[in-house]
A and B are shown apart, each in its own frame.
Chain A
Amino acid sequence: MNQAVVVDCVRTPIGRAHAEKGLFRDVRSDDLAVSCIQALMERTGIDPTEIEDVILGNTQQTMEQGLNVARNVLLMAGVPVEAGGATINRLCGSSLQALNQATHAVMAGFEDVQIVGGLEHMQHLPMMHGMDINPKLYHRTSKGALMMGVTAEFLAQTNGIGREAQDQFALRSHQLAHAAHESGLFANEIIPVYGRDETGELILANRDQCVRSDTSLEAAGALNPAFMPKMGTVTAGNSSPLNDGCRHVGDVSEVGRTPGPQTDGQGCFYCRGWSGTVRDGHRPGSCDEEGFATRQLEAGRHRFD
């Protein structure tokens, strides 16, 4: 069986899904995806004719993300028409599923070079856009289970994760992300793209908009619960923001010819995600519990000099 490796990995900065302030409020997500693929091809120096498939994760496959957006993106990016293109939806786990699928193809020996990634514009296409849930689903679950904030509350309640613990964890995330930006740790993965700053000026964006350098435990503690008024613990400060952005990785087989200098191999986890039940928040732990294969492909093993 072939060994699959990740050759290189790029992403756009992440913008807030905000109609007045969002970095990408007038930028389409498919354009962001094109930028990623072009950057990936340029950095790896890969011969575009080698690319056999482009698999992109996406949860709202309509409007600017409609038809088969992976195919549209690869064509706009200049990947030859002979390459495939498939868009995958497993909700939160969509891009991971794209990566898994590419890995399967490589390991099985069917294909050698793929680009995988994901795109989502949660401002242009909000989570509930065009949604028409079948009420019969509620024989098995309930409406609240489809709201991630509420499942987070359930997770917090059933596991005794208090407000302060959540705020501290969130603060740590912001601080680490901010430090990473400051020290240039993201410089290699973020590709600068055009966006708009909060005042409305066109900028070449290279920083995540949702990382807050100025937050504190006091500021986080002052926020009201976002999903369960009064008694809840999950706030805008300690939960994931709604974002717009895009990320792509090149996935190749060990034996595949992967030219180009300085490509860092990255670790990749294989696990199956699922959404739409109350277990939404439990995912990583459950993978082990439920016996799903969690396998780390050998991190950093491949460095092409």
Chain B
Amino acid sequence: MSSEQGASPSTITLSMPEADIAVLTLDMQDKGANILSRSVLVELAAHLETLEAQPNLAGVVFISGKPNMFIAGADLREFVASLNAPKEDVIALSKEGQDLFARFTKLPAVSVVAIDGICVGGGAELAVWCDRRIMSDGPKTEIGFPEVKLGLFPGWGGTARTPRIVGLGNAVELVTGGESIDAQAARAMGLVSDIVPAADLLPAAVRLIRIEQQTGQFRKDRQSWAGPIRMSETELGFLGATASAVIQGQTKGQYPAPLAALEVMMGGSMMDIQAACEFEATEFAKLFGSEVNRSLLNIFFLTDRNKKDEGVDDTSLSPESVNSAAVIGAGIMGAGIAAANVKRGISVSLTDANKGALAKGVSNVLTEVSFNKATRQADVDLAVKMAPLINGTVSDAEVAACDVVIEAVVENADVKKSIYKRLEPLLGDNTILASNTSTIPITGLAKDLAHPDRFCGIHFFNPVRKMKLVEVIRGEKTSDQTVVTAVAYAKRLGKFPIVVNDGPGFLVNRLLLPYMNEALELLCEGAEIAVIEKVAKAFGMPMGPITLYDVVGLDTAFYAGRVMWEAFPDRISASPVLPALVKAGRLGQKSGAGFFSYQNPKKKGEFDPEIAKFIDPYKKGDREFDKQEIENRLFLPMLLEATRVLQEKIVRDVRDVDLGLIFGIGFPPFKGGLLHWADRVGAKELLERLKTLESLGARTKPTELLQSMAAEGKTFYSN
């Protein structure tokens, strides 16, 4: 058989531990994860042919040869290669997979999938086509259908088989939600028959085969799962209506896959399995290659690249180990950073010049790290377990003894520098000193340091527990070694670090500011707050720019903006509206009023007619704006700034810009990132749109990069 022939090493091997038990072991050599690429499926087909010819087989076990890893899904690079394929080909690919896996249901033997580690996507589809599943009790063991996160749904029969096994209600949640479930949850809903230690998976599978052969239950299930789902029409209608309402609330029409998956499952439930599979294939092809599918695939590859990127081009360096961290400043950011460390088992010394602030900071850290998601309350056991990892201290020696020291004090260069001056002589030879500044240039802060090579910016975003982005900022003298260690450290905290060269606003704030500033310009030209917010949200932003001002705080926004106004006076000028509001004490959410008013029990932003008093004096006009014009005004200056960032080599790769904006400001994932979006619009079209904004001057003037791209027909991603 093919597994024994040919030059390429086999990934699936067939063995017979007992005379009537066959075991298929999947192990992709020289890869960390098993994925269902076409060649693997071809091998599987050959093995199934062998097994189909053995009538006396009692059972077949499908298992992975890798510990903690069953199957991570289909091969997404193969997906990308066929994004432009004709629909018939996509349908044919679905049907091929369905027909292949369906052969498990026709074997004379019981088929059992034994899962240790992750079992998702195509792997989960293979699993649901088998008669039975068992799972290991390992912490990494999970099963799920994450396809909706790529703008798709399962296309190898997953939407047809899963509801027949676990019931439509559970399957709808699994498939449209895209979240994996652990072994216990899988067993509770009947997806999994047994949970055992990983080492016992094979014997447990054989035991299950013997029981199934005795009861013959698998044959009854095969018969019942081949037909339509028996659920009353009323219940079906109710499930469809309620699930659809929930999904529409969550996706806001921006992510079509979950709703499409629901419709496929509702429709397929009333057909026999074969018709349901055909329906699935036809509907799957409609999503495959769609804009949202392309965008979400891009995000998958962006994050995948980030996980592998060490932050510098020199691959010979490896990160210094970080076992302890110090955080100076126990305010919101400091406590947040400390908590992120404690949650990942890194011991933290937290310090603050103010003892009361320090006590409050330590208490905030403990509250956050002991939060139990399941009970939604502080968990005493967790608090007791985590408490030894947090050390509230006022001793410089204790702070300096840590492997990484992060300063998160007030945004004042002199205060920061005086702290560095005091601490640097006490630091160890490999200790990294870092600032969490969001505005002050790193090179300047490093000026008086004895070891500027071991200094960098590690910029977390607020709130730290939610925001996945970290900017690692290189000063002029920051060493590659320091960057590599800082990047590895940020990843250990569960963050996505991007390496950014020093410059005003670094990356994220630099790109955010033109957008924020333009919103104020629009206000002064007569655009209504509600209209601006609506356009930004329709574009996919989590909130409008005006609301964002109130969330960030107008004083903070003003301070951050000043850096940019000073750096780029040719294209960004300070709006007088901000200082007027700050002067009146309208600082945003925190003060009860900013652009909106928050004088209600839920602190929800409400339109405040008073706001006219702060805008009217600076009004330059009063006219109606159409949606496209506002969208162009908000996002094109941001895009132009991104092209300048690329020209200045502030980032190493266009993907860092897209990742930074998605994780840093919530740029809509369904648009795939700012530059991915720009590529889909096309450089030529962008120039056309910019032409309509010509009268605004320097800030909307096309950059060289964009012009040359348009001339050469290039894209950001192909540059």
Which stretch of B38-46, B233-241, B402-410, B584-592 is in the interface? Answer: B233-241
Interface residues of A in 141-159 (CB under 8 A from B): 141-145, 150-151, 153-154, 157-158
Which stretch of B141-149, B165-173, B271-279 is in the interface? Answer: B165-173
A139 touches B249 (CB 8 A): no
**Which residues does chain A contribute within 8 Å of B188, judged by CB atoms?**
134-136
Given A140-B167, A143-B169, also A229-B234 (CB < 8 A): no
Contact of A144 among B185, B189, B231, B239 (CB under 8 A): B239
**Is B382 an interface residue, CB under 8 A from the partner?**
no
**Is B139 an interface residue, CB under 8 A from the partner?**
no
A150 touches B242 (CB 8 A): yes
A141 touches B242 (CB 8 A): no
**Is B245 an interface residue, CB under 8 A from the partner?**
yes
Name, among A134, A143, A154, A157, the residue most crowded by chain B CB atoms within 10 Å (CB to CB).
Answer: A143
B243 touches A142 (CB 8 A): yes
Closest to A157 in B: B241
A230 to B253, CA, bound (A): 15
A134 to B190, CA, bound (A): 10
- What is the interface of chain A mostly: helix, strand, loop, or mixed? helix
Interface residues of A in 201-242 (CB under 8 A from B): 228-231
Given A136-B167, A154-B241, A228-B245, also A141-B190 (CB < 8 A): no
A140 touches B189 (CB 8 A): no
A114 to B630, CA, bound (A): 74
A141 to B231, CA, bound (A): 8
**Which residues does chain A contribute within 8 Å of B239, judged by CB atoms?**
141-142, 144-145
CB distance from B275 to the nearest CB of A (A): 20
Closest to A282 in B: B234
**Is A278 an interface residue, CB under 8 A from the partner?**
yes
B241 touches A277 (CB 8 A): no
A115 to B359, CA, bound (A): 59
**Which residues does chain B contribute within 8 Å of A230, judged by CB atoms?**
249
B169 touches A142 (CB 8 A): yes
**Is A110 an interface residue, CB under 8 A from the partner?**
no
Closest to A158 in B: B237
B189 touches A135 (CB 8 A): yes
B249 touches A278 (CB 8 A): no
A144 to B189, CA, bound (A): 17
**Is A178 an interface residue, CB under 8 A from the partner?**
no
CB distance from B7 to the nearest CB of A (A): 48
**Which residues does chain A contribute within 8 Å of B172, judged by CB atoms?**
142
**Which residues does chain A contribute within 8 Å of B235, judged by CB atoms?**
140-142, 145, 277-278
Residue numbers of B with Cβ under 8 A of A are 166-170, 172-173, 185, 188-190, 231, 234-235, 237-239, 241-243, 245, 249
Additional pairs, 13, CB under 8 Å, beyond known A141-B238, A144-B242, A231-B245: A134-B188, A135-B188, A136-B190, A138-B166, A139-B168, A140-B231, A141-B169, A142-B169, A142-B243, A154-B238, A154-B241, A157-B241, A230-B249
Q: 25 interchain pairs (CB within 8 A)?
A: A134-B188, A135-B166, A135-B167, A135-B188, A136-B188, A137-B167, A138-B167, A138-B169, A138-B170, A139-B168, A139-B169, A140-B231, A141-B235, A142-B242, A144-B238, A144-B242, A145-B235, A145-B238, A151-B238, A158-B237, A229-B249, A231-B245, A278-B234, A278-B235, A279-B234
